[in-house]
Structure 1
Amino acid sequence: MFYGWLDKWDEQRARRGEERKKAADFVLDADRAFPGAKKITSIEEFCALADQAVADPAFFDAPSVSDQGFERLDGWLKFPSDISTDIEQNNVVLAKITESGSFDQAMVIFHHWNATAWNRHIANFFSQRGITVVEIAMPYHFERSRPGSEYADYMLSPNLGRTIQSLRQAVLDGRKLIRLLKKEGYRDISVLGMSLGSWVAGLIAAHDLAVSKASLFLTAGSLADMVWTGRATRSIRDSLEAVIDLADLRAAWSPLNLENYAHRLARTDLDLHVVVARRDRVVLSEISQRFMQSLKNAGARPNIFTLECGHYSLAMPPYILLAGLSLKRFLSSPHFGNRGKFR
């Protein structure tokens, strides 16, 4: 009876979020995804470029490392993004810093899609335990929102190229912030990603050796599968499935598939923590389990914490408390690496 109520609550929460979402046109926009790409007109050409991006170890590197322009004021940090888009507000990154008074650890948080509030409770909890918390606004969220938009429709959409550009921008923004934290003297850097933010955090952990611990909440490997099957992305699938099938979408968004970087996430100097919701209808648990298996096949030993709740009900007690305590144990445990002894 309780789980029936919980599922119903999650469905009601999903419906509220669905009211703002609108159908949009399918667009390739390869030049947004792959800088310097020639004009293309077919999904086959787009997928060929995507394959090249997956094979390119520098695809998620900044085009030119420019760490100038940081502004700090009253616990807030602003800096220019390394990717310039046609939405001016989106080109300035905002981050909220909750200091701990220690330079031992810093944790960068990447929020979920369409977040409207900062994670104050999480930031306060960990800062009081010696971990400086930096919450970064992902593209098209908070002050970076597109004027007139009701939700972050440019971050995740049936525009294939803009979606890749947006997540790549989020990765470059996060890596730029991490470089600043290292310069300021923080010894250990962790990343925490929630839902869509977990893809960003995972891509950063896979490509940035400065990250020693990565915690991924409500995650999976294939973004394409999440969009195609997830409760929160039905409007995107409606726009896509009349034009392409899931196989094409997987190939087009292969640079965003964490399974393609499982070998990088299995590096020996990285610890992984994953929170999975068994009743999740946004990021289906079977997609998450497939990602976990790909990590294990690559030699990683992720610390997996499974809860009997849904995507939205994870934010409710007792689930959020249990997930928080699991994260606390993970962050406070000695660093063993993926092939070491886990807690």
Structure 2
Amino acid sequence: MYHNWLDRWDERRARRGEEAKKVTDFILDAGRAFPGEKRIETIDEFCVLADQALSDSGFYDEPSGSSQGFERHDGWLRFPSDISTDVEENNVVWAKITESGSLDQGLVIFHHWNASARNRQIAKFFSQRGITVVEIAMPYHFERSRPGSLYADYMLSPNLGRTIQSVRQAVWDGRKLIRWLKSEGYREVSVLGMSLGSWVAGLVAAHDPGVSKVSLFLTAGSLADMVWTGRATRSIRDSLEPVIELADLRRAW
């Protein structure tokens, strides 16, 4: 029954805002994904860099000395992202805190792509059970939205490099938040992700020893396959399909 509810929820979410999604240009933009590598002109060259990043255990490690700049006020936390983009609003991370009254456990929630509201019911459910919930805004969502955009088109798009940069930024932001929670005294910190957020939460859990538990909902084995088969990402596939095969997209992402 719960799985059927999730499927119906995902279908409604996919239909929401479909009219705003347009087919856009395919762009490699390797310099965003792999700083310093701007002269990449072919998919094969891009995939070589992706292979190198895949074998680099430090690709998702945040820079040292990046623990400054946290501001907490009236149930909200804000702090600077350690990846700077050309969208000023996106460079400040916002998170909604629902207190439990205990420093025993914290839960960081990563929302789905194009989320229109935070998960108040989930936050209330866990906070009443002694778990403080922190709902982080992923890149180009909520307070971090690109001015004039109707959906989070910079978080996931046919721009291969920007998509990698956005996922990497989301992982760095999540790990920075977990480090802050630990510094505040939380004994255990878990992560929960939904849809695209499950990709980010999974990467955070895989790379950060500070994560105690992880729950992933509506996840996929491959980001490329999620885009290729998902209803909500149909416009991205329409942009990609004429110029890149699924096998190469799997390797690139």
CA distance in 2, matches of 1:7, 1:146: 29
CA distance in 1, matches of 2:140, 2:8: 30
1:140-219 aligned at under 5 Å gives the runs 140-219=140-219
What is the DSSP-based 3-state SS (H/G/I as helix, E as strand, rest coil) of the residue aligned with 2:109? strand
Match of 2:231 in 1: 231
Cα offsets for 1:149-189 (capped at 9, x unmatched): 00000000000000000010000000000000001110111
Match of 2:99 in 1: 99
CA distance in 2, matches of 1:151, 1:12: 15
Asked whether the equivalents of residues 17 and 151 of structure 2 are also in contact (C-alpha less than 8 Å), the reply is no
**Higher RCO (Cα < 8 Å, 6 or more apart):** 2
1:71 pairs with 2:71: yes
CA distance in 2, matches of 1:15, 1:66: 39
CA distance in 1, matches of 2:74, 2:107: 19
* Shift, 1:116, TM fit: 1.1
- Taking structure 2 as the reference length, the TM-score comes to 0.95
- Tell me the amino acid that sits aligned with residue 127 of structure 1: S
* Shift, 1:12, TM fit: 6.1
CA distance in 2, matches of 1:183, 1:90: 24
Cα offsets for 1:222-280 (capped at 9, x unmatched): 00011011111110011101101101101100xxxxxxxxxxxxxxxxxxxxxxxxxxx
Change (3 A) 1:118 1:55: same
- How many residues were matched structurally? 250
What is the DSSP-based 3-state SS (H/G/I as helix, E as strand, rest coil) of the residue aligned with 1:46? helix
* Shift, 1:64, TM fit: 3.2
CA distance in 2, matches of 1:8, 1:197: 18
Identity of aligned residues (%): 81
What is the DSSP-based 3-state SS (H/G/I as helix, E as strand, rest coil) of the residue aligned with 2:233? helix
Change (3 A) 1:17 1:176: same
Asked whether the equivalents of residues 17 and 232 of structure 1 are also in contact (C-alpha less than 8 Å), the reply is no
Asked whether the equivalents of residues 123 and 133 of structure 2 are also in contact (C-alpha less than 8 Å), the reply is yes
- Over alpha carbons, which structure has the higher Rg? 1
Match of 2:57 in 1: 57
Match of 1:287 in 2: none
What is the DSSP-based 3-state SS (H/G/I as helix, E as strand, rest coil) of the residue aligned with 1:133? strand
Match of 2:220 in 1: 220
CA distance in 2, matches of 1:8, 1:103: 35
Cα offsets for 1:45-93 (capped at 9, x unmatched): 1000000001000000113331111001001000000000000000000
CA distance in 2, matches of 1:8, 1:101: 34
* Shift, 1:11, TM fit: 5.1
What is the DSSP-based 3-state SS (H/G/I as helix, E as strand, rest coil) of the residue aligned with 2:114? coil
Q: Which runs of 5+ in 1 are unaligned?
A: 254-343
- Tell me the amino acid that sits aligned with residue 36 of structure 1: G
* Shift, 1:142, TM fit: 0.5
CA distance in 2, matches of 1:14, 1:126: 26
What is the DSSP-based 3-state SS (H/G/I as helix, E as strand, rest coil) of the residue aligned with 1:231? coil
Q: Which runs of 4+ in 1 moved over 6 A?
A: 6-10
Asked whether the equivalents of residues 29 and 38 of structure 2 are also in contact (C-alpha less than 8 Å), the reply is no
- Taking structure 1 as the reference length, the TM-score comes to 0.70
Asked whether the equivalents of residues 70 and 78 of structure 1 are also in contact (C-alpha less than 8 Å), the reply is yes
Q: Which runs of 5+ in 2 are unaligned?
A: none
- Tell me the amino acid that sits aligned with residue 153 of structure 1: D
